[in-house]
Structure 1
Amino acid sequence: VGLVLAGCTSSGSEGSEAPEDDPTGSDAPTDEDATPGGEPIARYAGYESVSYDDASHWVCRPDADDICDGDLDATVVEADGTLTVEPFEAAADPAIDCFYVYPTISKDPGTYSDWDAADDEEGWVTVNQAARLQSECRLFAPVYRQRTLVGLGGGGDPEAEGDPYADVLDAFSTYMANDNGGRGVVLIGHSQGTGMLAQLIAGEFEEDAELRELLVGAYLAGGGIAEPGTGGAFAEVPVCATDGEAGCIASWASFRSDAPPPDGTFFGVTRTSGEPAVCVSPSAFAGGDAPLDAYFPAVASSSILSPEAAPQQPSDWVDAAAGTIDTPFVKVPGLLSGTCEASNGANVLLVDVAGDPADPRADDIPGDLTPEWGLHLVDVNLVMGDVVRQVATQADAWAEG
């Protein structure tokens, strides 16, 4: 398990070239498909993509018919068993973009994944962690040749060579050169994806003031981001301190309040020094206890590691007498709250679950692995609605300058 986390920030951030690949897809994205009409900023002007002119190297793009265009409706499950459908509607012409990098998800047999994204791996997690942001932004989610579950668990070929960050940098540079056109951009990632985006912020945003001006916000879940003023901290990109603040970073790792980080925790600390990491929850940038606006799969036992889990019958979330859940997602208002706190040398989002055995709604949530992992599997699900809300207000603040 420790090896899984050690790989989340592997590979250096130097250079802008990925290993050579021969794109063969004929449906390559074009400027007319997604570019809003503006010119790329100087850093990316004239950039020639290594691998991302191939449309198949994107899980989701706004100019493609892809898995992110599926049903995102949610059933709101009240404590008394009342069920209400919350329909999802993507924005017709959003003013900003989102760039998403998924966590360790590939079950490919080698140390590094290939270019073939699977709907029940890369696609599934992208739908769960990023597709809902399409109510506020155009979504760009690249495939990248990540270190796989096998590779990070100690299997695979120890001599295998790969550079996941080179792919992510190529994808982002391709997006900036061909699609951004001066639009604001939100970064969102989880686990290995957070490691990739941390390198991107350090190597790109920290180095270019013009690029920083385009940053609407960054959501770096399930990774150890160094606190300001400590070694390895970002110097130019601040940590979010007030709701709706634009151009800043929110980062968190979630644990149950009654199962806080143990000695040897994998999360809530930085990878290199083991010092307490940044914890800013999307539920309340300024801190303090706040309700969590969560979205979970309607099959509660589904997770990053088991997306096709068999559902409980008749429902994971509510007694049968309350009715039937027909949407792919559920919300459970009032069940969850959380606050970022220091705990056993770590800074984490401590989550309270206010289940009531007397009511017809489920009393608990999924997401546990081991004590050292906490609620890592649902880091993003727990606050998905909060992320959407913050992005909306950040977009307004960014537009106002």
Structure 2
Amino acid sequence: MASAAAGTTGASAKTLWLCNPVTLKSDPCRPSMKTLVLSPSGERLRVETPRRPQRPAFDCFYVYPTVSDFDGPQAPLRIYPEQRAIAQYHAARFSLTCRAFAPVYRQITLRGITTLAGQVTERMREQAYADVRAAFREYLRRYNRGRRGVVLLGHSQGAFTLRRLVREEVDPKPSRRRILVSALLIGGNVLVRAGSDRGGDFRHLRLCTSARQVGCVVAYSVYGETPGSDAVFGNPRVSFGLPVPKGSVEVACTNPANLRPGGSGSLDPIYPARRFAPGTTIGALTDQLGTPRVDNPGAFWLSAPGSYSARCVRANGRHVLVATPRGGAPALKPMPAPSWGLHLADVNIALGDLVQLVKRQGARWLAQKQR
């Protein structure tokens, strides 16, 4: 393990890119797209290789969740196997529609949110946010220049970080709202006024309620059953240090399979065929989820369209996306505890839906720009 002191010095630092299609010859966000398609029950159906566009017309900016196995409360600015793995799990599939950028940041580590939580300081949280903010500003200055649409994508700690970034750097600024294709803030307890698609965290941005919308927000957390009163996600009081607005608020839930409020739909899971960074904490937890595993898949990805039905549910003061297996699909195991629900599968259980949604939103944004 690395020394715990390495990640806690310096108020700001030069951006270290995990994924950058402009400056890096290869990165984890651009793997093979060869995909083994399965039935919900795991039967092999066919192999597909969707084509990645040579010149994507818009961008994605990805902030990864808590994955660092660094032995202190704050991660250093270095790239480890768990960061490369999570970029492949979450961001890589979006390279079918956009240029994917992902910065490394001095996040609060797995130990920092568990056994070393008492050692986490406000300075550490500010450094983590400052790294992402600096990377976003660098992205805007060097790679966007106000000309390209951008999708913001984050999960868990990444989504909490992007919530603040959107509130401070995007929502108040018309020029930045104009380039926002959408913000996918997943597993991050985004807040809206109770029963509304707006208010709460953002003054101007609304939740996505139609695939024809752009400049809107998709936010949800997945449970395999109705959440109990101990559920961590969907709870408006769990905010990872972010302020909770006054008044009646609830956690947003937008169903990526059917954005219409109250709508239900079937989810299209997509996972890398290889195990998540063996020997890491998240790798061990991911192995226990119960997601499909195939011997000798002959492809980088496993796709099982229509494996779960999903709808947003309000219960016990929580608002979450409940996913139910269909057609013999496996019932996933909540990890690391029942109160977390299917948090580790939040993105991949709906990855096919999210990529298609972003593709439609990007096309819509481009059409509006050309008017």
1:252 matched to which residue of 2? 220
State the partner residue of 1:19: 11
Pick from 281, 295, 302: which aligns with 2:255? 281
Instruction: For 2:212 and 2:132, locate their aligned partners in 1 and report how far apart those are by CA, in whole Å.
Output: 27
Secondary structure of residue in 2 paired with 1:276? strand
Match of 1:263 among 225, 229, 239: 229
Q: Cα distance 1:310–1:61, how it changes in 2: closer, same or farther (>3 A)?
A: closer
Compared with structure 1, are the counterparts of its residues 363 and 58 closer, same or farther at alpha carbon in structure 2 (3 Å cutoff)? Answer: same
Residue 296 of structure 1 aligns with an amino acid whose one-letter code is Y
Inter-CA distance 245–316: structure 2 relative to 1 (3 Å threshold) = closer
Residue 106 of structure 1 aligns with which residue? 68
Aligned AA for 1:269?
N
- 1:397 shift after superposition: 1.3
Which residue is equivalent to 1:133? 94
Question: Number of matched residues?
Answer: 337
Provide the secondary structure at the position in 1 that maps to 2:314: strand
1:190 aligns with 2:190: no
What does the per-residue CA deviation read over 1:160-185, in whole Å, with 9 as the maximum and x for residues that have no partner?
A: 54221111000000000111021000
Q: Distance in 1 between matches of 2:339 and 2:153?
A: 23
Q: Aligned pair in 2 of structure 1 residues 197, 311: CA closer, same or farther (>3 Å)?
A: closer
Deviation digits for residues 273-328 of structure 1, max 9, x if unmatched? 5953000022111141111011023357889844378989xx9546x8xxx52223
TM-score (norm 1): 0.77
Query: Matched residue of 2:214: which SS?
Result: coil
Query: 1: distance between equivalents of 2:84 and 2:107?
Result: 14
1:145 to partner: Cα distance = 0.5
Identical pairs, percent: 32
Q: CA separation of 1:292/1:80 partners in 2, compared to 1, >3 Å: closer, same or farther? A: closer
| CA spacing shift, 1:265–1:80, aligned 2, 3 Å | closer
Match of 2:347 in 1: 380
- Structure 1 residue 59 corresponds to structure 2 residue 18: yes
Q: Is the 8 A contact 2:36 2:44 kept in 1?
A: no
CA drift of 1:245 comes to: 1.3
| TM-score computed with the length of structure 2 as normaliser | 0.83
Task: Report the Cα distance in structure 2 between the residues aligned to 1:328 and 1:308, rounded to whole angstroms.
Answer: 20
Matched residues in 2 for 1:301 and 1:58: separation? 20
- Residue in structure 1 matching 2:211, options 234, 240, 243: 243
- Partner deviation per Cα, 1:6-39 (whole Å, 9 max, x = no partner): xxxxxxxxxxxx8244xxxxxxxxxxxxxxxxxx
Cα distance in 2 between the residues matched to 1:225 and 1:231: 10
Kept in 2: contact 1:111–1:148 (CA 8 A): yes
Report if the CA contact (8 A) 1:254-1:379 is conserved.
Answer: yes
Closer/same/farther in 2, CA of residues 72 and 343 from structure 1, 3 Å limit: farther
Q: Which residue of 2 aligns with 1:24?
A: none
Code of the aligned partner of 1:87: T
Helix, strand or coil: the match of 2:191?
coil
1:268, 1:277 within 8 Å by CA — same for their partners in 2?
yes
CA contact (8 A) 1:194 1:222 kept: yes
Change (3 A) 1:81 1:342: same
Unaligned runs of 5+ in 1: 1-17, 22-50, 357-361
1:354 aligns with 2:329: no
Rounded to whole Å, the distance in 2 between the matches of 1:305 and 1:329 is 22
Q: Take 1:310 and 1:221, find their aligned partners in 2: how far apart are those partners?
A: 17
Runs (4+) off by over 6 Å: 300-304, 308-312
2:6 is matched with none
**Secondary structure at the counterpart of residue 139 of structure 1:** strand
How much does 1:59 deviate? 0.6
Q: Which moved more, 1:268-277 or 1:160-169?
A: 268-277
* Aligned residue type for 1:178: R
Cα distance change on mapping 1:121 and 1:300 into 2, 3 Å: closer
CA distance in 1, matches of 2:43, 2:12: 55
Alignment match of 1:307 (pick from 283, 290, 293): 283
Gap change, CA 1:299 and 1:252, over 3 Å in 2:
same
Unaligned runs of 5+ in 2: 1-9
The equivalences for 1:160-239 within 5 A come to: 161-162=123-124, 163-181=127-145, 182-228=147-193, 232-239=200-207
How far apart are 1:159 and its partner, in Å? Answer: 6.5
CA RMSD of aligned residues (A): 2.7
For the structure 1 residues 231 and 185, does the alpha-carbon distance in structure 2 shift closer, same or farther, using more than 3 Å as the test? closer
| Aligned partner of residue 310 in structure 2, secondary structure | strand
